[in-house]
Amino acid sequence: MSEPIELIVFDCDGVLVDTERIAVRALLTMGPELGWPLTEAEILTRFIGRNAQAMTDEVSARLGPAAAAPWHARFRALHAEYVDAGLTVVDGIHETLAAISLPTCVASSGSHDKMRHTLGRTGLYDHFAGRIFSADDPEVARGKPAPDLFLHAAARMGVRPGACVVVEDSRPGVRAARAAGMRSFGYAGGVTPAQWLAGPDTVVFQDMRDLPELLSRAVGA
């Protein structure tokens, strides 16, 4: 029998704020400029849900180590431009957060600066302030799909991994949750195909407004 749920760990990009579409758009725009035209499928496979080091590794392998810094700089600039032009929250997230009474936190592959920007612009930062963890934190040796980030968040929140559930929208994210010994809810209402999220200890869902009921069922299981 599963442990009672004591903590809900939210990914940020694509779960709280609708930034994954922005990241895809930015990479589609800049790829040809910097010598690596990418398809949307390649972007989802290589970059979405992963941290800055993973991007460095991918770009270095394809274009050489010297290309990584210009790539990151262009991505940050385009991402910030698109965020400021029209970032929205994931549809239904405000209602969902209002309906959840269990403790929550955020654990994201993105940097703290990025989350301050995106969560701040959408009015969500204060909801999670003091409970926001990043793959850039020194305690996180490896990014998703390794379990380090989620284990770090659980440890800081004082909750056993088996009592945590993760809300994710990427294949590296649900794999990281499984590796951490955590159940997950895979949100397939964004850019990631539902079949990429399916797997052991994972409930795949399409509408963020359904999450409170799914959590309620899990609590009662």
CB 144 within 8 A of CB 135: yes
Active site residues: 11
Residue 167 · residue 11 · CB < 8 Å: yes
> Both tokens of residue 99?
């309906």
110 vs 143: CA distance, rounded Å: 10
Rg of the chain, C-alpha, whole Å: 17
Q: How far apart are CA 157 and CA 164, in angstroms?
A: 10
Contact 88, 181 (CB under 8 A): no
CB-based contacts of 198, cutoff 8 Å, min separation 6: 186, 204
How many angstroms separate the CA atoms of 125 and 87, rounded?
A: 14
Q: Can you point out the beta strands (E) in 40-146? A: 104-108, 132-134
Distance CA 38, CA 93 (A): 30
